[in-house]
Amino acid sequence: MVGELIGGSQREERLECLETRLDELKLRRESYWWYLDLRRYGSVPHAGFGLGFERLVQFATGIDNIRDAIPFPRTPGSAEF
């Protein structure tokens, strides 16, 4: 009905696991050299989360469209250059 209110994730920091997964998906390691180097030469475990405050406002107020709960919604054709 409302959608995702909160979500989180943790990045994989183990180089061996990343390389194994690339091989499983048949992806070229050369295409991801920069990302693998980040893990190879120094990385720490890190995670994050996102809180959908606009979805909470939508739910609490009964607004039908999420765009009406966002102060400055980004919609196709709404940006003026």
Read off the amino acid at residue 51.
L
Average pLDDT score over residue span 54-65: 90
Query: What value, to the nearest 5°, has the Cα angle with vertex 24 and ends 19 and 28?
Result: 60
- Predicted confidence at residue 35, as pLDDT, reads 93
- Predicted confidence at residue 75, as pLDDT, reads 79
- CB contact at 8 A, 3 and 59: no
Average pLDDT score over residue span 61-71: 90
pLDDT for 3-35, tens place per residue?
Answer: 677 889 999 999 999 999 999 999 999 999 999
- Predicted confidence at residue 50, as pLDDT, reads 85
- CB contact at 8 A, 19 and 36: yes
- Predicted confidence at residue 81, as pLDDT, reads 61
